Amino acid sequence: MLILGGTNEGRRLAKRLAGDARYRTLLSYAGRTERVRAPDSAHRIGGFGGAQGLADFLREHAFDALVDSTHPFAARISANAVAAAALTGTPLLRLARPRWRPLPGDLWTEVPSMEAAAEALGSAPRRVFLTVGRLEIAAFLRAPQHDYLVRAIDAFETGLPRARVIAARGPFSFEAEHQLLVEQRIELLVSKNSGTPLTYEKLAAARALGLPVVMVERPHVPEARETASLEGVVEWLATLHGAPST
């Protein structure tokens, strides 16, 4: 089985299956971050060369199943997975976290893209906590008047004239997020709707402080069979294997 990783769920799935003699797994990372949290089990780092490259890899190594546990915003990789599965006849399951949903007290503005998020900040300068990641930062070059606090896994040059980067990886506690927002005098938060519990507490802290949040919705990906849990993957694999799950 090939697991397309990039999320904590992918690592947990590889660890869960490592001791199951029915399966041989390979966890693959695209390598877009410098500090990859690789598992103890078999893994690789690097791309495949598009859908055809992934299809060739599936054929070459005779994989029987493909699990897409990439980040919800890795739309191109998920699209390639659907295409490669169709080209090779490989069963595909997407492990997709549920979206975050606004709760009472949340002040969300939901937008369809990073460009729309930049526009939603308005023209007046504001202190913005930007948690969208290195690959999406270019969209905010159109709004250079704001003071940005950017958090990402790896430090990088933003190209923004008034930005500071803090390199950190979750999980983050409510207390730490609340303190950060207060100390940095943040007026507005921008986030991707990743759905991970590792970074949710920033939203809870914003709610407690009455701060607005610009929430960027997930990009469209081709339809595929999905599950929201590791148990769903284990049950699907057991069905493919023809034996009850353990």
Task: Give 94-118 pLDDT, tens digit per residue.
Answer: 999 899 999 999 999 999 999 999 9
The CATH class of the 2-98+221-241 domain is alpha beta
Summarize pLDDT for 9-46 with one digit per residue, the tens.
888 899 889 888 889 999 998 865 545 566 667 888 88
What's the token pair of residue 158? 């933003």
Extents of the domains making up the chain: 2-98+221-241, 107-216
**pLDDT average, residue stretch 165-172:** 91
For the entire predicted model, the pTM comes to 0.86
DSSP class per residue in 165-225: EEE--S---HHHHHHHHHHTT--EEEEE----GGGTHHHHHHHHHT-EEEEEPPPP-----
Looking at residue 123, the DSSP 8-state letter turns out to be: S
Which span out of 9-13, 170-174, 182-186 was modeled with the highest average pLDDT?
A: 182-186
What's phi and psi for 114, nearest 5 deg?
Answer: -65, -35
pLDDT at position 36 is 58
d(CA 29, CA 244): 29
The CATH homologous superfamily for domain 107-216 is NAD(P)-binding Rossmann-like Domain (3.40.50.720)
